[in-house]
Amino acid sequence: MTRASAKPLIVIPARLNSQRLPSKALADIGGRPMIAHVVERALEAGLGRVAVATDAEEIARAARDAGAEAALTSRDHACGSDRVGEAAERLDPHRACGVVVNLQGDQPFLPRGALAAAVALLEEDAAVDIATLAAPLPAAEADDPDIPKLVGARIGRHRLRALYFTRARAPFGDGPFLHHLGVYAFRRAALERFVALPVSELERRERLEQLRALEAGMRIDVALLDKPALSVDTHTGLEAARRAAGASGEDA
C-alpha cells in the first residue's frame, strides 16, 4: 500500500428525515446548508477523501457544491455508521483506505485538529478498533437526554478508554462529565465487523450506535478536547448554531 492510499476516507452520513430535526442537513446556517459547513470541517482536516453518504439527491447536490464526493445509499440503515459502511464499499471497493472516519452531519463547528486527534489514536495503538472524541460538559447540562455522555477510564492525559455511553446523567457522584462528540474513526476491518452485527439491545434502548461495538467487545478509545463543539440535533441546537454563525461573521 502506498502512502497516498493509506490516507483515511472521511464519510459524512446525512439522511433527509432525521427523527428529531427533519432535513437538518439542509438547514440554513449563515447562508449555507449545514452539510456544507460539515464538509468544510472535513476538507480543512486535510486527511484524505471527503464524501457524504445520503439517501437524498438534494443533500448529495449540496455536498458536491461544497466540494465533497457523494454516495447515494439505502434509506433503511439503522444508524449513521451503517450508512458509512455502505458508502465505503462503493467509494473504496478495493479497500485501499485502512481507516474510515464517520463524521456525523450535525457537527458544523468541529474544531481544527479534532479529526486528526481521533485518527492518531488508531496510529498509536494497534489494539484500538474505533477512536472517538469527547469534551467537558457543564454539570448543568448533564441531565439533558439530547447530549450523549461518555464514561471512560483515563489511560493518558488526553486519552480515555470508553466504558459506556448514555443519554442519562453519568457517572454518579461528584466529578466532571464528558460530552461525546459525533466522530468515529474505524479501522476498516472494525467497520466491516460493526455493520455485520445486528442492532444491539443497549443500542436500541439508548439510541446510541456505539454501544453495538462495546457490546460486541470492540475497543473504543477517546481523545479529549479542551472544549465542546456545538452540535445540531434539535431546533434549539439549530438556533444556537445560527447565532454562533452570525457572531463569527459567516455568510453565504
| Beta bridge partner(s), residue 100 | 9, 186
What is the distance between the alpha carbons of residues 103 and 208, in angstroms, rounded to a whole number? Answer: 15
Digit-coded pLDDT (tens) for 85-126: 999 999 999 999 999 999 999 899 999 999 999 999 999 999
Rounded Cα gap, residues 9 and 217, in angstroms: 24
What's the rounded Cα separation, in Å, for the pair 66 and 130? Answer: 28
Q: What is the pTM of this model?
A: 0.92
Do 99 and 189 touch, CB atoms closer than 8 A? no
Identify which of 158, 185, 176 has the alpha carbon closest to the alpha carbon of residue 102. Answer: 185
What are the chain's domains? 7-246 (3.90.550.10)
Is-contact 76 52, C-beta < 8 A?
A: no
The pLDDT score that the predictor gives to residue 49 is: 97
148 vs 252: which has the higher pLDDT: 148
